[in-house]
Structure 1
Amino acid sequence: MSDHKPLARQKAIVTGANSGIGESVAIALGQAGADVVVNYVENEDAANAVVDRIHQAGCKAVAHRADVSAQDQVEDMFERAVREFGTIDILIANAGLQRDCAFAEMPLGKWNKVLGVNLTGQFLCAQAATREFLRRGVVPSVSCAAGKIICMSSVHQEIPWAGHANYATSKGGIKLLMESMAQELAPKRIRVNGIAPGAIRTPINTSAWNTPEALKSLLTLIPYGRIGLPEDIARAAVWLASDESDYVVGTTLFVDGGMTLFPGFSTNG
């Protein structure tokens, strides 16, 4: 564990932090010096295990159950965060899900569920975070910025994805939500950016990599020749949340091994 603590004395909320990318991000923020609210919807034991890992890094952490698509639950979570930690400096809006379906057969419920969690959930959490950042303002001894929001997106904010219209639409929406927030909030010294993971080894996409055949097929889409790990995203999140990236505003950082280079065209299509 590094002695470098770029997030020392900062307070963070990570949504969807009990597994996959969110779990790794929450732990990495704790190892970088931040106290962390570990948000989850189900599997409380997994959330508490993440809390324990952050405690081992010497930082405070609490697990908090909240559905990010429910405004009252989001507001309760932020109120608890301020009550426990005094304020919030960093939001990692990571919670997301897939409900895949052929377009012609997609029930409205699957559309609404994915848009509600993936897009509306980021709006609600970012709005609550922004209000706290504006209330407190810049504290120079803690950070150059009044607050940092990182929207977890996907390469599918750029790459269409047949059979996943709801998911791809939610990620395309996140892109312009992030950029619009960044434009509006930058004069208030609030930095908003996005991370767009490519293929990452997480429970949400197990079927894409858990057999040799599936992995071989997946790797044809990744010029760098390996599937990503949650830790690849976590390192990017720590950097974007730190003052080391203070002049980075309204940018999506693609962490994808080159997937957005459309490698099918490397041999002239």
Structure 2
Amino acid sequence: MRLDGKVALVTGSSQGIGQEIVLHLAAIGADVVINYRSHPEGAQETLEKVNAIGGKCYLAECPHSQAYSIQADLGNVDMVRELITESIEHFGKLDILVNNAGIEKHAPFWEVTEAEYDAVMNVNLKGVFFATQTFVQHLIETNRPGKVINISSVHEELPFPNFTAYCASKGGMRMMTRNLAVELGALGITINNVAPGAIETPINTQLLNNPEKLQALLNNIPLGRLGHPQDVASLVAFLASEDANYITGSTFVVDGGLLWNYQEQ
């Protein structure tokens, strides 16, 4: 499973799952675009880790991937389009788009503000829509196939009280993926969702530091542990490869069995 000669953009890749996806794609030969919104130090760390992958190789078949970092707010459509354009200008093309950036806002439904709702939808759904559109336009112009991989959530399927806007955005992503699989298939473009459950990332720091809540969650996970970013990244790498050329319009759940065993506490 190799991605030599391919160029991949991973949105929201300055930390957590996005950073690990970048490293997995680079490890199998892809050149990578790192995107960040407000953590340039994290993006620099990701870039240095990509460079270190090549630095540790002493065999001819080892990858020596190049990395490039771009700041962009995925909630701003103009910046989204510029992100795709700059990625193409830097590497000459783009083959793989991983829509990883996402945010959530915790609030009871009756207290959610319009600004909070818009923030979640703009990043999680609107930004994904127009990033994918701009990427597809590039593929059509260059008459090439391509791959889109969305990082969704078990909450495209599983209710999550106090996160209604987030769930709605991921449900929208699920339907968008199914629809685009039909529209884009004839162009040789595949699109799939990877839906993580509870993953050990910086966004879950508060949970990790609350033993009671953490144990309650672990009781709902048949495999008995939180996921790791590499659990998600390895699946993304497969979907980005030619080994997954006949897979499109699907959601792949990475949750240790949480979805089918969850009970709200």
Residue 66 of structure 2 corresponds to which residue in structure 1? 60
When the two chains are superposed, the root-mean-square deviation of aligned CA atoms in Å is 1.3
CA distance in 2, matches of 1:264, 1:110: 27
CA distance in 2, matches of 1:262, 1:226: 14
Residue 141 of structure 1 corresponds to which residue in structure 2? none
Task: Give the counterpart letter for 2:66 in structure 1.
Answer: K
Residue 110 of structure 1 corresponds to which residue in structure 2? 116
Which residues of 2 match residues 59-138 of structure 1 at below 5 A?
59-138=65-144
CA distance in 2, matches of 1:147, 1:179: 16
SS in 1 for 2:168: helix
Q: State the shift of 1:123 in Å.
A: 0.4
Q: How many residues align?
A: 254
Task: State the Cα deviation string for residues 18-60 of structure 1 (Å, max 9, x = none).
Answer: 0111111011111111111100001101101101111222211
CA distance in 1, matches of 2:110, 2:255: 30
SS in 2 for 1:73: helix
CA distance in 1, matches of 2:196, 2:87: 27
Q: State the shift of 1:263 in Å.
A: 4.7
Give yes or no for contact 1:156–1:171 (8 Å, CA) kept in 2.
yes
CA distance in 2, matches of 1:108, 1:81: 32
Residue 11 of structure 2 corresponds to which residue in structure 1? 15
Residue 230 of structure 1 corresponds to which residue in structure 2? 229
Verify: 1:162 aligned to 2:161, yes or no: yes
Residue 143 of structure 1 corresponds to which residue in structure 2? none
Task: Give the counterpart letter for 2:158 in structure 1.
Answer: I
Give yes or no for contact 1:209–1:218 (8 Å, CA) kept in 2.
no
Task: Give the counterpart letter for 2:11 in structure 1.
Answer: T
Task: Give the counterpart letter for 2:255 in structure 1.
Answer: D
Residue 203 of structure 1 corresponds to which residue in structure 2? 202
Unaligned 5+ runs, structure 1: 139-145
Q: State the shift of 1:264 in Å.
A: 4.5
Which residues of 2 match residues 34-49 of structure 1 at below 5 A?
34-49=30-45
Give yes or no for contact 1:223–1:263 (8 Å, CA) kept in 2.
no
Task: State the Cα deviation string for residues 54-109 of structure 1 (Å, max 9, x = none).
Answer: 12222111110001121211121112111111100000000001111111111111
Unaligned 5+ runs, structure 2: 54-63
Verify: 1:26 aligned to 2:22, yes or no: yes
Task: Give the counterpart letter for 2:121 in structure 1.
Answer: L
Length-normalised TM-score, structure 2:
0.93
Task: Give the counterpart letter for 1:123 in structure 2.
Answer: F
Task: Give the counterpart letter for 2:169 in structure 1.
Answer: S
